[in-house]
Amino acid sequence: MLKVSWLMILVLLVGCEEAISPLEQGDPEAQYAEALVLYESKDLNDRQRGFYYLEQCAEVLPECAHGLATIFLQGVDMEPNLARGTAWLQQAAVADYKPAVNDLAWFLVTTPDDHWYDPREAFRWMQTMLRLGELTAAEQDTAAAVFAANGDFRMAIRYQTEAIEMANTSDFDPRELANFERRLEAYKQSQCYRSRRSCVPIRNSHNNSVYL
């Protein structure tokens, strides 16, 4: 009969524990990384697994909450759910996750849904975004849209012009750049931007712009 010492058994058990991957251990960053990979798949089952991982890590990582928000807002593999999407966006934005702050501000000033349209709240989130550091071209575009919706076309033109300049010096999607340029022309005509809706800018109580 083969004799195995308790020491050998202990070594084998420790080895098994070390073989468990971070994903199997429920590591949030591993779950997020796996979700990103799975959502590249054309297989619905893979994407459903990706959704499961995002749900698992959303309470810990703002990146995961932001991912869920994107899925609900865009209606990826489901009907869009603005209530759940904005709730997850707000959770990630409160954690100062800049992409979520940007997306929340953009959503609040461009949504065609009057229930969610809120330029003043978008302005508050834009201030948070500015506090978090230098803006990307897309974030400059968001800031411009927020200023325009709040009736500050001088600042909207400034930020949109900077967005276009930044986009022209990088490998930027030409279709998005064309959208940037169209919005700039609208701002020059004192027209704000809203998706599939006409846009009427608001003013503060003193009918003055607030400059940052």
Comparing 11-25, 67-81, 98-112, 133-147, the range with the smallest average pLDDT is 11-25
Percent of the chain with pLDDT over 90: 80
Q: Helix 28-38 crosses helix 62-74 at what angle (to 10 degrees)?
A: 30
- pLDDT reading at 204 higher than 70: no
The number of beta carbons lying within 10 Å of the beta carbon of residue 33 is 16
pTM (predicted TM-score): 0.85
Distances (CA, A) of 197 to 31, 100, 141, 180, 202: 38, 23, 18, 17, 15
SS3 category, 71: helix
Secondary-structure class of domain 98-212 per CATH: mainly alpha
- Mean pLDDT for the stretch of residues 166-180: 94
Residue ranges per domain, the chain? 26-95, 98-212
Q: Looking at per-residue confidence, does 209 or 159 come out higher? A: 159
DSSP for 7-52, written as a single string: HHHHHHHHHHHHHS-TTTTT-HHHHHHHHHHHTT-S-HHHHHHHHH
- Look at residue 125 in the predicted model and tell me its pLDDT: 98
- pLDDT reading at 210 higher than 50: no
- pLDDT reading at 107 higher than 60: yes
pLDDT in tens, 35-64: 999 999 999 999 999 999 999 999 999 999
Buried b vs exposed e over 104-125: b needs ≥16 C-beta within 10 Å? bbbbbbbbeeeeebbbeebbeb
- Look at residue 49 in the predicted model and tell me its pLDDT: 96
Buried b vs exposed e over 145-176: b needs ≥16 C-beta within 10 Å? bbbbbbbbbebbbbbbbbbbebbeeeebeeee
